[in-house]
Amino acid sequence: MGEILTLAGENLLSPIILCFALGLAAALARSDLSVPEAVAKGMSIYLLFAIGFKGGAAVAANGIDAGLLMAIAAGVVLSFALPFVAFGLLRSMTGLSRIDAAAVAAHYGSISIVTFVAATSVLEGRGIAAEGYMVAVAAVMEAPAILSALFLVAKGGSSRQQDGLMQEILLNGSIVLLVGSFLIGAVTGADGLAKIESFIVSPFQGVLCLFLLDMGLVAGRGLRESKAGLSRMTVVFGLTMPLIGAALGALAGLVIGLSTGGLALLMVLSASASYIAVPAAMRVALPEANPSIYLTLSLGITFPFNLTLGIPIYVAAASALTGGGL
């Protein structure tokens, strides 16, 4: 417990968290501080490329083992399964309609790559290694949850024509970039990494700071302008679902025998909720679902929770579970 607090304290005072807080505060105070859309997109391209490439290069360095395939399978299963858990909770805890609940559930089965990146930074800061292929696990967890949500809605009776939706989801820019740069990193390995290291490694933390500043601004603006008015139980869901997700992720990770770092990251992936790929898919696939509910929950509640308290908890738990001290 003391360890978690220390870790949480350290985490809260890291530049990236403080940058997020700055953005949040600025937006809530109605400052006109803003990051241009093109710059925000440019930074997200940079982060996805860097994280994918580094993961691929790490796999190239360590060789592919059975662990990779098992971890990917675990990720796919989790992404399919978590929405059912979330949906059940939402329907019993909150007054959300079937469609709104399914849409929210899709977000929690999928992942937040920035939360993943932030967790990677914390692990690096503590010198805890993780399997390089966890990036690939992140990529495969983006999409399956969307199918589960559609299944949940279809069960409820409203069938819908979804020509080309699946292709659109799998070819989503962030998935393609993450998988593509992972493969490039795996192919070019240490040589490739050496060539572009001073681009994707050294300035990474700094770019992450500015990116989180922007995330804070967007989250704050969302909280301020949202007409949703989340019910109290919905907020409670946004704070407990990450813990439940992390627990299920821990279970899966222990079964397949991940290292401390890998376990922590699988917990983070399971705990985090999407706010890029899934919202866009929902606008196409479940337009009746209210976007301000799922956006506010995912970006305004769960993302800050994971960033500040969640990550330290998951890292501490992973250490305890794998017998590694902090």
Partner 1 sequence: METHNAKRVEIVIEAPLERRLTDALEEAGVTGFTILPVQGGSGRSGRWSREGQIGRSGMVSVVCLIRPDRLDSLLDAAFTVVERHIGVVSVTDAQVLRAERF
Residues that bind Na ion (CB under 5 A): 111, 272
Closest distance of CB 144 from Na ion, Å: 11
Judge whether 171 and 142 are in contact, CB under 8 Å.
no
Residues 3, 45, 85, 254: which binds a copy of itself (CB under 8 A)?
Answer: 45
Interaction between residue 110 and partner 1 (CB under 8 A): no
Q: What residues contact residue 20 under an 8 Å CB cut-off, 6+ apart?
A: 212, 213, 215, 216, 219, 304, 307
What CA–CA distance (Å, rounded) separates 1 from 7? 10
Residues 62, 205, 226, 292: which binds a copy of itself (CB under 8 A)?
Answer: 205
Residue 130's binding partner out of a copy of itself, partner 1, Na ion, none, with CB under 5 to 8 Å set by partner kind: none
DSSP string across 63-86: ---HHHHHHHHHHHHHHHHHHHHH
Interaction between residue 114 and a copy of itself (CB under 8 A): no
Which uninterrupted H or E stretch holds 266?
Answer: helix 260-271
> How distant, in Å, are the alpha carbons of 75, 169, 187, 202, 298 from that of 166?
18, 5, 28, 37, 22
274 or 290: CB nearest a copy of itself: 274
Residues binding a copy of itself: number (CB under 8 A): 54
Residue 283's binding partner out of Na ion, partner 1, a copy of itself, none, with CB under 5 to 8 Å set by partner kind: partner 1
Residues binding partner 1: number (CB under 8 A): 30
Residue 221's binding partner out of partner 1, a copy of itself, Na ion, none, with CB under 5 to 8 Å set by partner kind: partner 1
Task: Give residues 225-264 in contact with partner 1 (rule: CB under 8 A).
Answer: 225-227
